[in-house]
Amino acid sequence: MRNPKKTLLWAGACAIAALLVTGSVQAAPAPAKTAAPTPPMGWNSWNHFAAKIDDATVRAQADAMVSSGLRDAGYRYINIDDTWEGERDAGGVLHTNAKFPDMKALADYVHSKGLKLGIYSSPGAKTCAGFAGSLGHEAQDAKTYAEWGVDYLKYDLCSLTPSVEKAATLEEGHAIEAAAYEKMRDAIKATGRPMVYSLCQYGINQPWRWGASVGGDLWRTTGDISDRFSRMVQIGLSQAGLAKFQKPGHWNDPDMLEVGNGGMKAVEYRTHMSLWAILAAPLLAGNDLSTMTPETLSILANKGVIAIDQDPMGKQGDRVHAEGPLEIWARPLAGGAKAVGLFNLGDRPANMSVTTAEVGLKGPHALHDVWADKDLGKQASFKAVVPAHGVVLLRIAAK
């Protein structure tokens, strides 16, 4: 989530990451069962509403997710970010504030729509917005979430970040955050209620190497996204080389979607969706679902793009080729197919081309233009004029 303090936190995170010795922290084998067998799809309140979120707005988003067809397209989670928290009672139990008079009733309403409810907390004493975190109350809070019917927890390092950054050694800093995440993992497990466990800690200490070992179903690999093309591209391209650390059930998370929030053009939002799909990234819409335009809906609900993101092979894609502002990324899909994105990050249209050999295939294969929903016949090479800040997303069939 975003907060003015995050700028300094992210700067510190970058400094730590730059000092890390590659391979210093190794991920443990992932468990056989997971709460997120494919990248989670849903909605989160922060990108559009931030602190202006309440019970009525969440219900409206749930209603819109159903009426728009996004639920049927695969979006399932309605996630409440920061600022829902109230005070703890004499026994230490955390209650909601006046904006959320009955979280259990809200969860029941979301569930009645065939959706799932997510919530937010921090392993520190305070959340990013200054509300009560879970430090020292992990078991209590997990029990409360389970009683409410929560299905997803975003756990934001936030106020614990300074302790991690001030540690005497990188190993000591990692140990602090790993212990914090393990404590809530164990607390969730003790409730007996399955919850997707999302580690939000901005890529500090290479979480892709150890996120699964502390119970994460997904872990943030970057600082916060914003509704700007330059920031979205910076985050997306920074995922190069991380594919080997992700596996089905445990996902690299380059942050939530900005599609429909107005800071980018439609062509740029299609680039956003395409890159996230090739990255096997979680697809958490961050717009106002109740007022979105048909164009925004067509981007979020595109069946071909979602099919790539949710491909059962669960293998993240990676960069194949880069030349100035022109990049080609590819992702292996189940059955031997490939998803290929031709990204023009420059400010003018550009001629781009790719061959099947470049993405590990031999000879002509059937090509499909995903955004145009058009079969292109069998080809061994493909050429196109890609618009500025745009993409051509191909699905290449296996023979």
For the cut 70, the answer to whether the pLDDT of residue 222 exceeds it is yes
pLDDT digits over 229-256, tens only? 999 999 999 999 999 999 999 999 999 9
What pLDDT score does 174 carry? 87
Closest CA relative to residue 238, chosen from 250, 248, 224: 224
For the cut 60, the answer to whether the pLDDT of residue 273 exceeds it is yes
Q: How far apart are CA 355 and CA 359, in angstroms?
A: 7
pLDDT digits over 156-193, tens only? 999 898 888 888 888 888 899 999 999 999 999 999 99
Asked if 317 contacts 243 with a C-beta cutoff of 8 angstroms, the reply is yes
pLDDT band at 32 (very low <50, low <70, confident <90, very high): very low
Asked if 273 contacts 245 with a C-beta cutoff of 8 angstroms, the reply is no
pLDDT band at 220 (very low <50, low <70, confident <90, very high): very high
What pLDDT score does 71 carry? 98
What pLDDT score does 164 carry? 86
The full set of domain ranges for the chain reads 6-309, 318-396
Edge-to-edge strands, sheet with 365-369: 318-323, 326-332, 338-344, 390-396, 365-369, 374-379
DSSP class of residue 21?
P
Give the angle 33-37-40 at the CA atoms, nearest 5°. 135
What pLDDT score does 17 carry? 36
For the cut 70, the answer to whether the pLDDT of residue 128 exceeds it is yes
CB atoms within 10 A of CB 198: 27
Proportion of the chain above pLDDT 90, given as a percent:
86
Which whole number is the average pLDDT over 4-22?
A: 36
What pLDDT score does 56 carry? 98
Which whole number is the average pLDDT over 25-49?
A: 77
Homologous superfamily (CATH) for 6-309? Aldolase class I (3.20.20.70)
pLDDT band at 16 (very low <50, low <70, confident <90, very high): very low
Q: Which of 86 and 164 is assigned the larger pLDDT?
A: 86
pTM of the model: 0.92
Does 156 qualify as catalytic in the annotation?
Answer: yes
The residue annotated as part of the active site, out of 156, 288, 309, 311, is 156
What pLDDT score does 335 carry? 97
For the domain covering 318-396, report its CATH number: 2.60.40.1180
What pLDDT score does 31 carry? 38
Which structure tokens are listed for 93?
A: 């139990």
pLDDT band at 391 (very low <50, low <70, confident <90, very high): very high
For the cut 70, the answer to whether the pLDDT of residue 317 exceeds it is yes
The residue annotated as part of the active site, out of 54, 224, 288, 309, is 224
For the cut 70, the answer to whether the pLDDT of residue 228 exceeds it is yes
Which whole number is the average pLDDT over 94-122?
A: 98
pLDDT band at 34 (very low <50, low <70, confident <90, very high): confident
Mean pLDDT, the chain, integer: 92
What pLDDT score does 399 carry? 84
For the cut 50, the answer to whether the pLDDT of residue 206 exceeds it is yes
